[in-house]
């Protein structure tokens, strides 16, 4: 997103400037490597944007923003280990390039570095930052465990799936936004509205990922189309189709994992109304996010930048 490019450039510079030891090199070289892989840096950008609403300069928000980004990267390193993923952002994952033990320690080190960033705040705001961060960290771990548990469960409820993506993905967006409000010394209601905006937007974004996995253009989406269907992953799209009780869905699940299964799923999910139902769910959470912004605007706060981010995240090619 062009309007956010200067925030991303600022954060890249700050990330590259994080002081890391040289030895043992197998620990710190991995951190430099992984952090150099880039990414959208959307979570720390949200912290900077949230702080701006309350006239907090980015130089004051940056440590909180870096804390969010370092924690996110810690979770990615460990997720890659658990998923057995060979590639991250087009490059070998840490456990592939080095080994699993080094990757575990590298992730742990990033988690600790996240706390180092928060330690730059020595006033009354630190307690609130730590409370929000610790609660979020616990929830992210809970969500990851739920996601792994779902792989072996025959039945997953729609409510369970939404709770899993809320915990695994969305609460970190909420925390990133709440950090800006905490730094701006805002009241609990304002902090909560920003947090809930992030959570609802994150859920809508993840549901959109479910749809794009099957219906997206791979040249735009950047991932293999139909990967979830090939592995019978219990996404919301999958669950909406399953709820119809149509025997054709059961036949789809039993099909061999090939391009014909993906093509068949595209047609079947349209006919069963699963795609529309999933889109409706996505739009519902997006509307919830917009309602939270309206609450902030009622207080006279300017949320134009957050509107723009939300629109950018939710209007990927469907």
CA distances to 172, 235, 240 from 274, in Å: 28, 11, 5
Structural contact between residues 265 and 250, judged by C-beta atoms closer than 8 angstroms:
no
Q: Give the whole-angstrom CA distance, residue 72 versus residue 250.
A: 37
Question: Considering the chain, what is the average pLDDT of its residues?
Answer: 93
Q: Give the whole-angstrom CA distance, residue 126 versus residue 316.
A: 36
pLDDT over 90 at 40, yes or no: no
- Tell me the percentage of the chain whose pLDDT exceeds 90: 83
pLDDT over 80 at 193, yes or no: yes
Q: What are phi and psi of 2, to 5 degrees?
A: -55, -40
Q: Give the whole-angstrom CA distance, residue 208 versus residue 277.
A: 12
pLDDT over 90 at 283, yes or no: yes
For the segment 118-130, the average pLDDT, to the nearest whole number, is 96
Confidence of residue 38 (pLDDT cuts 50, 70, 90): confident
Confidence of residue 147 (pLDDT cuts 50, 70, 90): very high
pLDDT over 80 at 126, yes or no: yes
For the segment 227-236, the average pLDDT, to the nearest whole number, is 91
Q: Which residue has the higher pLDDT, 318 or 166?
A: 166
Confidence of residue 89 (pLDDT cuts 50, 70, 90): confident
β-partners of residue 92 are 87
Q: How high is the pLDDT of residue 224?
A: 62
pLDDT over 80 at 272, yes or no: yes
pLDDT over 80 at 1, yes or no: no
pLDDT over 90 at 115, yes or no: yes
Q: How high is the pLDDT of residue 219?
A: 64
pLDDT over 70 at 317, yes or no: no
pLDDT over 90 at 290, yes or no: yes
Confidence of residue 2 (pLDDT cuts 50, 70, 90): low
Q: How high is the pLDDT of residue 84?
A: 87
């Amino acid at each position: 997103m062009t309007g956010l490019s200067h925030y991303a450039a600022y954060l890249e510079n700050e990330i590259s400037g994080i002081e890391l030891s040289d030895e043992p090199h197998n620990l710190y070289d991995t951190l430099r490597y992984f952090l150099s892989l880039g990414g959208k840096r959307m979570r720390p950008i949200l912290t900077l944007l949230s702080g701006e609403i309350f006239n907090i300069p980015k130089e004051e928000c940056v440590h909180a923003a870096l804390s969010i980004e370092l924690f996110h990267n810690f979770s990615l390193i460990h997720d890659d280990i658990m998923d057995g993923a060979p590639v991250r952002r087009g490059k070998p994952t840490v456990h592939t390039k080095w080994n699993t033990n080094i990757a575990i320690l590298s992730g742990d080190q990033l988690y600790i570095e996240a706390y180092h960033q928060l330690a730059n705040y020595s006033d009354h705001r630190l307690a609130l930052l730590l409370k929000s961060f610790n609660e979020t960290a616990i929830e992210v771990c809970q969500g990851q465990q739920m996601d792994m548990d779902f792989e072996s469960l025959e039945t997953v409820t729609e409510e369970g799936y939404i709770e899993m993506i809320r915990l695994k993905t969305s609460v970190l967006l909420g925390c990133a936004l709440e950090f800006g409000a905490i730094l701006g010394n805002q009241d609990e209601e304002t902090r909560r509205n920003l947090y809930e905006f992030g959570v609802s937007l994150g859920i809508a974004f993840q549901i959109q990922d479910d749809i794009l996995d099957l219906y997206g253009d791979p040249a735009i989406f950047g991932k293999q189309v139909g990967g979830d269907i090939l592995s019978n992953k219990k996404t919301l799209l999958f669950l909406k189709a399953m709820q119809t009780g149509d025997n054709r869905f059961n036949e789809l699940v039993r099909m061999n994992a090939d391009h014909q299964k993906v093509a068949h799923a595209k047609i079947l999910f349209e006919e069963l109304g699963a795609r529309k139902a999933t889109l409706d769910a996505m739009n519902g959470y997006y509307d919830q996010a917009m309602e939270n912004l309206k609450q902030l605007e009622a207080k006279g706060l300017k949320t134009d930048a957050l509107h723009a981010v939300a629109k950018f995240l939710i209007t990927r090619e469907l």
